[in-house]
Amino acid sequence: MFKSFTFQLLIRLLFINMLAILLVYLIKNTELWFTISGIGLILLTSIISLYYYINQMREDIKRFILAVKMQDNTINFKNKVTRGSFPELYESFNDIIKIHKDIHLEKDSMFQLIKTILEQVPVGVIVVKDKEIDTMQSEIVFFNMAATNLLQVPAYKYWHRLKKHLPFFTTEINNIKEGGKKFIELKIQDKLTQLSTEVIPLNLYHTDYIIICFQNIKDEIEQKEAEAWNRLIGVISHEILNSITPISSLSDTVHRMVANKETLDAEDLEDLKPALQTIKRRSEGLLDFVKDYRLIAELPTPDLQSHTIGEILQHIKVLMQPFASGKNIQLKIEQTSSKITIKLDLKLIEQALINLVTNSIHAVEGCEHPVIEINYRLEQNRLFLDVSDNGKGVDPELIDKIFVPFFTTRKNGSGIGLTITRNIMKMHQGSLEVNSIPFEKTVFSLVFKYQ
């Protein structure tokens, strides 16, 4: 690679040295001023030529580095490959620039592919450059067609313009700009739109971005609500009919017994007593059913206070240990010293745990070695309070039904415990999860968001 350059450099240096020696000799020993001037001019020209020769290489390297730095793929050194002093070096320059160009084209192609995909998905996607999205300089770098259609706005380039058009939406997004999910109801052109929204903060190459994804779930919610109402109406109708049918039948029987009589003797009264007692019992059952329904519908608003997990578990241990021991059930609660703190309504969460432990106590009836465990775990910014047992569990086909109000598999169960527990967790922005392997391990988990 360096042979041509080294050879030319040596020849030039040797020629310059010979001229310099000759010039010194002529100046000292002769007075041939015309010759001296000519040789001096040739020496100066040779030195300048050497400078430009070396400087040309330096400029070419500088051009190459600048091209890579500025991602300029138009520069090439093809003419230098055949005529330059470093053909292999210039060929490497060309190869590197070509590879850089190919990578750049591949990145552009991938970007266009992703952009095309995001334009086609039915989910609104907005990408904002700048974490502080409430500023005038916050630029919207991506606004897909679904976002335009869902929000009924043009694809704005700046966040403050979208804020001016949809102040409520932008305020709600700003409230979860650090990341999270939120359900947002918007009235757009006199039409109610229900958006399931998620915000994801991202840092790429020291630049902050916020990705906002949202979709209209109004139709899905309405379908789920209709299904829930149908199930609830079915259960309520079943319960009411179970009480009304014997009351109606007995009332008809009593009416026939007294219809044509002006007075009742002792024998008639004795015949009426069982019928009236049954009517009274079923009426009370119907009243209890209505009270249970009101209990589900009228849960108090949570009073959120900071409590440690150890405090919660200790309370449950004190409350439920005597009940479990009385039925020869081993209740294990071993993490009562935990200092992990979370905001919740202690009374409501205690009620939720009592419901789960009570269900477990009934589930382990008949087991040879009944065991109920209560503990906690942390996973992916979520805190789980687990109530597990080795009882009969929940059959897979019943998993979706156990949360329906008044559905129960117990003979004397009310069917509202799990419904109330799930509603309590929803009021805490959490959820109730279940995982069951019958007669091995069944786990009901109160799931909280935890930062």
Of 297, 336, 338, 298, the closest CA to residue 320 belongs to 336
Angle at the Cα of 329 (from 324 to 331), degrees rounded to 5? 70
Range with lowest mean pLDDT among 73-82, 308-317, 370-379: 73-82
Per the model's pLDDT, the better-predicted residue between 379 and 237 turns out to be: 379
Residue 162 has, within 13 A of its CA and on its CB side, a CA count of 29
Strand-pair category, 305-308 with 191-204: unpaired
pLDDT above 80 for 187: yes
CA 344 to each of CA 181, 302, 307, 371: distance values in angstroms, whole numbers, following the listed order = 19, 7, 7, 27
CA torsion 142-148-154-156 (nearest 10°) is: -30
pLDDT above 90 for 444: yes
Residues 159-167 have a mean pLDDT of 89
**Backbone dihedral region for residue 11 (phi beyond 0: left; psi -120 to 50: alpha; all else: beta):** alpha
pLDDT above 50 for 126: yes
Cβ 138 vs Cβ 129: under 8 Å: yes
Q: Quick: pLDDT tens for 189-201.
A: 777 788 889 999 8
Cβ-proximal residues to 206 (8 Å cutoff; 6+ apart), any chain: none
Kindly state the helix (H) or strand (E) to which residue 379 belongs, with its residue range: strand 371-379
Cβ 237 vs Cβ 155: under 8 Å: no
Per the model's pLDDT, the better-predicted residue between 141 and 68 turns out to be: 141
Distance CA 1, CA 450 (A): 63
pLDDT at 2: 47
Cα 146 from chain centroid (whole Å)? 20
What is the biggest distance separating any 2 CA atoms in the chain, rounded to whole angstroms? 168
Kindly state the helix (H) or strand (E) to which residue 241 belongs, with its residue range: helix 218-258
Distance CA 378, CA 447 (A): 10
pLDDT above 60 for 218: yes
Residues 13-20 have a mean pLDDT of 88
pLDDT above 60 for 239: no
Residues forming a β-bridge with 387: 374, 444
Q: What sign does the dihedral 355-357-358-364 (CA atoms) show?
A: positive
Concatenate the DSSP letters of all residues of 138-155 into one string.
-EEEEE-HHHHHHHT---
Residues 114-133 have a mean pLDDT of 82
pLDDT at 131: 65
Whose tokens are 């929204």? That residue is 197
Mean pLDDT over each residue of the chain, to the nearest integer: 80
Cβ 171 vs Cβ 197: under 8 Å: no
pLDDT above 60 for 1: no
pLDDT at 416: 72
pLDDT above 60 for 229: yes
Residue 140 has, within 13 A of its CA and on its CB side, a CA count of 20
Distance CA 197, CA 169 (A): 10
Of 442, 398, 446, 451, the closest CA to residue 423 belongs to 446
Cα 33 from chain centroid (whole Å)? 89
pLDDT above 60 for 82: no
Distance CA 312, CA 282 (A): 39
Distance CA 43, CA 32 (A): 16
pLDDT above 80 for 251: no
- Percent of the residues in the chain that have a pLDDT greater than 90, as a whole number: 16
Of 206, 210, 186, 208, the closest CA to residue 196 belongs to 186
Cβ 444 vs Cβ 359: under 8 Å: yes
Range with lowest mean pLDDT among 142-146, 242-246, 331-335, 382-386: 242-246
Residues forming a β-bridge with 199: 180, 212
Whose tokens are 């009934």? That residue is 362
Strand-pair category, 305-308 with 330-333: unpaired
Range with lowest mean pLDDT among 13-22, 69-78, 328-337: 69-78
pLDDT at 29: 85
pLDDT at 133: 66
Range with lowest mean pLDDT among 157-166, 216-225, 285-294: 285-294
pTM above 0.75, yes or no: no
